[in-house]
Chain A
């Protein structure tokens, strides 16, 4: 018996909390997000703060300011060789490397003190790469799926609800989009705009993923629109838009959420596949790019295990989240 006075949202949240794996996933996703936001402070080749000859500096903050154009470097710190400065006192970030820093003395080092997750052939620290790679992984997933969902849900809902010409038109469009071999399309586009880098890849993945979302949304709408409560809503005189978005959509959203979770996962996998084939900027370090190097160097297990695990965790976590949401939103499961 549900209590009176509880909003739909409260019910959903309460239901969600019962699902432990899903809740844990939320925390993990939150951590990943924080990692992505604070990457500059956790892994950087400059000190967080230091004192040189009596003056206190904040190099990491300074760099952010300079990058955003708000200030300029003090002349004495310009392109300084941070590791070799005589500090009076210094606080380094947790991981004192950028993903692009080359530590020539530590090439292909297995995990050890100094490089906790090991290094690659030219001395790039894997841990730093992993931390900064969270940004790319999250961005890839969110941006591409975001685009896909916005387009897909909107079009799918309209087609499924109104049927007729709208449905037929959308179905044709979806068909066309689905028949185009998306991977080839991505490859061709990336070849056309080699300067597009990873952002172009994200947008393209999004633009080629929306049909899947639309099809599911449409299928759900097809099933649901003949249900009684929809007929009731229409009898009550609600406008179509209101019916769609306030009444039908919350019920139709379940498979969409599941698809988004899988979609984010697959977007991350697609990006690593593209890195494997050699696309994207060569100097951008992503989980996929670290993994692709590991291919030719199977003895460097740390280069395969860590990014692979990171991908696995991120993907799993999104899946669990999706499933948790689905279970919580489904009115029939209470």
Chain B
């Protein structure tokens, strides 16, 4: 067991390496020259001097130098060998040049380990500070929603499975299906329009996380204010995932209930409650735990839409804006950090997995 844990944790590092490479590659794949972008960021009225070398050209070169964009991308660069007039194939014409550690990827990754993600292209703020402000918000919303989803889904799923084919089961099935099919961005907008104080009800704030007079509130007041602002977004986060979860719970539970050992337990005369909660539950939790690892990244992705609709300053909206404005340092940082968070989540899920089902063996099969 300990062996397994250690091995598991060690394996995180190669994964991390690949993640950084992919984050880097992804942001570099986007079209457009970042130097050009920075030179004319936001301005649609660039003036060209027209004669000879333009001011703009000089500007762009300087920016390239400043931001290391003139360095090679990676450790290795492939170049066509133009001296080879009779190439045997496309690949044989390629030469490789070793760039050593003086390449963009390496410089960036080395800094990442110092938690220095560079500065934003857009406003020069250290990226880490930007993320530091945002991550807690997205994390808080995601974790609360996940917790809520589980709290609602598990009892719901169990009850449905145990009381299969009853009216309750049918109603909850239909309701859950409905919840699951409604697009979250639509629901979010509808919620704001109907409950956010527009033409209909004024029960919740229409946007943001803080009221106008947030500063002047007491600590308790601030807490309540935050919660009040979070209710609508959390609702949107949660309804989809709890629907999915409860279905999974139901399916898993149904399978377990039909197992022989459950019949045995019943035959032994144990009460239904004991049968369900002591014996069936543990095994039916397995697929649910697997899903946890899958839900976290979904939360991070889903945060883009929800944070945009509710104007919440979290990581999702930061990432989307960074991609939109081609703010490479921020894009890479967000990719990497959300990947790392997910990695931690998966690790936990796997460890929990082994706790819940010791029957599962790892490594090669035993004969």
Contact = CB atoms under 8 A, between A and B. Distances in A.
Interface in B286-336: 286-287, 290, 293-294, 297, 300-302, 304-305, 308, 319-320, 323, 331, 334-335
A163 interface: yes
B323 A184 contact: yes
Contacts of A319: 177, 180, 247
What does DSSP make chain A's interface, helix, strand, loop or mixed? helix
Contacts of A304: 186
A237 interface: no
B320 A187 contact: yes
B171 interface: no
Contact of A272 (B178, B183, B346): B183
A184 B186 contact: no
Given A168-B11, A255-B251, A184 B183 contact: no
Contact of A225 (B185, B301, B323, B365): B365
B15 interface: yes
A258 B86 CA distance: 55
Contacts of B248: 258
Interface in A257-309: 258, 262, 265, 269, 272-273, 276-277, 288, 291-292, 294-295, 298, 304, 308
A192 to B, nearest CB: 5
A91 interface: no
Interface in A228-260: 255, 258
Interface residues of B, number: 61
B305 A276 contact: yes
A312 interface: yes
A276 B183 CA distance: 10
Contact of B181 (A189, A273, A277, A316): A316
A75 interface: no
Interface of A: 162-164, 167-168, 172, 175-176, 178-185, 187-189, 191-192, 212, 215-216, 219, 222-223, 225-226, 255, 258, 262, 265, 269, 272-273, 276-277, 288, 291-292, 294-295, 298, 304, 308, 311-312, 315-316, 319-320, 323, 326, 330, 332-333
Given A258-B248, A273-B305, A316-B177, 6 more contacts: A163-B364, A179-B19, A180-B339, A276-B185, A312-B181, A312-B182
Interface of B: 11, 14-15, 18-19, 22, 26-27, 29-31, 177-178, 180-186, 189-190, 193, 244, 247-248, 251, 255, 258-259, 286-287, 290, 293-294, 297, 300-302, 304-305, 308, 319-320, 323, 331, 334-335, 338-340, 342-343, 346, 359-365
Instruction: Rank and list the top 3 A-B pairs by shortest CB-CB distance, nearest first.
Output: A183-B301, A315-B181, A179-B339
